[in-house]
Chain A
Amino acid sequence: MKSGTPYLRAIPPAKGVPGQADDSRNLDQKERSKNMKLSKIAEILGAEILSDGEEDIEIESACGSDLMSDVMAFVKENVLLLTGLVSPQVIRTAEMMDIRAVVFVRGKVPGQNILDMAREKGIAVMSTCYPMFIACGKLYSAGLTGKGVR
């Protein structure tokens, strides 16, 4: 390192922000998101289905977060929510966002009150032993790369 060179340099902003719509323009056709059936997602994550949704829906994109307000900052269609938060507010957030499937990560299993609430609202619930990072990585690698619009 030359004398006087600051150790920390400002990093120029990347074109497009990850998670935002314009980022998808940089993806070539091969990398474009594949729609994925919920049953396929359960298979990839080795997930136990705790509550069936209304049907084996097609998922276009996924969102992994323990903060529900962050989930609500991005609008996506046919979304899967992955979370480590176990609370009725997860189902409530899913309801507001029209999210029709939730995966609880890190082996968390919601209580009966949460499952009943999900069933009433037609939201499928699964539980996987994978931690958040691995669960998201497995789905992304399998082609679920759809992004939200902020």
Chain B
Amino acid sequence: MYLHYDIPSNDLTYAGEASSNVKKILVQLGIDPQCIKKAAISMYEAELNAVIHGGGGTADIVIDKEKIKINISDSGPGIADLELAMQEGYSTASDEIREMGFGAGMGLPNMKRYADELDIKTKPGEGTTVVITVMFDTRHA
């Protein structure tokens, strides 16, 4: 199954629609709830990052029997120091974003925590692509 979503820019109020839809589809497919939670949280964090830092972007998702692969791409400023950005608590988010409950510097660490595989391609000035893979526990399928 292939899914595509456009992630709108700079509207944090309703960000997360794509992740919400993907979660619903995984529930309908009868995927193990723990695997759904891992995929939903990591995709939601990536989607929020695309809204907050990337000026919007795209989400392309491939679901097969064994796994879900989530590709979130933006054309934003890129991440200058990825190693630093992976540390818990490091954030470049604005005060406005922090007032909305984000920018705690937990986005990328949370993705790393929940994804079975996480691949980040980024370059200053050239945007960021995050690929999250979550394996399904087929024993419960």
* Residues of A in contact with B (beta carbons under 8 Å apart): 66-70, 72-73, 75, 83, 85, 87-90, 92-93, 95-98, 150
Instruction: Flag whether B104 is at the interface (Cβ < 8 A).
Output: yes
Are A89's CB and B15's CB within 8 A? yes
Chain A hits for B15, CB < 8 A: 89, 92
A75 to B110, CA, bound (A): 11
Contact A98-B33, Cβ < 8 Å, known A69-B106, A89-B15: yes
A93 to B47, CA, bound (A): 12
Given contacts A73-B110, A89-B15, 15 further A-B contacts (CB under 8 A): A67-B104, A68-B101, A68-B104, A69-B107, A70-B104, A72-B106, A73-B106, A87-B101, A89-B13, A92-B44, A95-B23, A96-B16, A96-B20, A96-B23, A150-B113
Chain A hits for B41, CB < 8 A: 72, 96-97
Taking the nearest CB of chain B, how far is it from the CB of A24, in angstroms? 19
Chain B hits for A73, CB < 8 A: 106, 109-110, 113
Taking the nearest CB of chain B, how far is it from the CB of A54, in angstroms? 14
**Pick the contact of B37 from A85, A92, A96 — CB < 8 Å?**
A96
Taking the nearest CB of chain B, how far is it from the CB of A77, in angstroms? 9
Question: How many inter-chain contacts with C-beta < 8 Å in the A-B complex?
Answer: 68
Chain B, interface SS category: helix
**Pick the contact of A69 from B12, B40, B104 — CB < 8 Å?**
B104
Instruction: Flag whether B19 is at the interface (Cβ < 8 A).
Output: yes
Are A92's CB and B16's CB within 8 A? yes
**Pick the contact of B20 from A69, A70, A90, A92 — CB < 8 Å?**
A92
Taking the nearest CB of chain B, how far is it from the CB of A13, in angstroms? 17
Contact A89-B100, Cβ < 8 Å, known A96-B23, A97-B41: yes
Are A69's CB and B45's CB within 8 A? yes
A88 to B12, CA, bound (A): 9
Chain B hits for A68, CB < 8 A: 101-102, 104
Are B37's CB and A67's CB within 8 A? no
Which residues of B from 31 to 56 have beta carbons under 8 Å from A?
33, 37, 40-41, 44-45
A150 to B106, CA, bound (A): 13
Are A97's CB and B37's CB within 8 A? yes
